[in-house]
Structure 1
């Protein structure tokens, strides 16, 4: 089997999988299409605002700060795995990485990004 045939077979398998999942979703959705299931928030209470309501721009700062800490953890896990093998080199590199992140947090603090006004 040539490489092109393998790619075509893989693409057809992906397309078939997508179509099957869409069909299952359509079947299940038709059975669960009741009034409470159509509400934007399925918590049992009537929503106070519309589901497509806009958020204030100040939430952008919090989202970016969350990403800052989230990416820190994403990069710290592989570092922790190889720390014992690499030794002081890995410790120094992580120290520089955390220093850059702390400087970013201090800059955000100085620019009052954490204020909720």
Structure 2
């Protein structure tokens, strides 16, 4: 007994013209939203800034205009220490599930953790050499 196969691929997906029209409609919708967003970004600040008077532009509660930019206060020496903290944090996040797997896997899991700690220790030695642990 043979079952006749019908070609349902074309009837399920539609013809090429239908797919092209759907793609064109989608592109037109995306272009419309992009143009709307561009218009809002372009024209909204101009209308808002023109409506402010000079007293409204001054800082609130008697504060003066800042002399320096806010990011100039933060020194770059905190970033290497933060990266080192993240390295230790990732180590702990990896060790907790590893302890469960170690019971099942044994020596293979021990080798994987050894490689992980070796790579982490290279980063710590590099940081030590660069002087991350010295505070000035």
TM-score bracket, normalised by the shorter chain, equals: 0.5 to 0.7
What SS does structure 2 have at the residue aligned with 1:72? helix
Counterpart-to-counterpart distance in 2, 1:64 and 1:55? 16
Structure of larger gyration radius: 2
Describe the superposition over 1:67-102 as per-residue Cα deviations: whole angstroms up to 9, x where unpaired.
000000011111011111000000000011001111
Question: Is the helix fraction higher in 1 or 2?
Answer: 2
Query: What runs of 5+ residues in structure 1 fail to find an aligned partner?
Result: 1-51
- Matched positions, count: 66
The reply on whether 1:100 has 2:88 as its aligned counterpart is: no
**Per-residue deviation, 1:55:** 2.5
After TM superposition, the runs of 4+ consecutive aligned structure 1 residues lying more than 4 A away are: none
The reply on whether 1:75 has 2:94 as its aligned counterpart is: yes
Counterpart-to-counterpart distance in 2, 1:88 and 1:106? 26
Give the TM-score normalised by structure 2.
Answer: 0.45
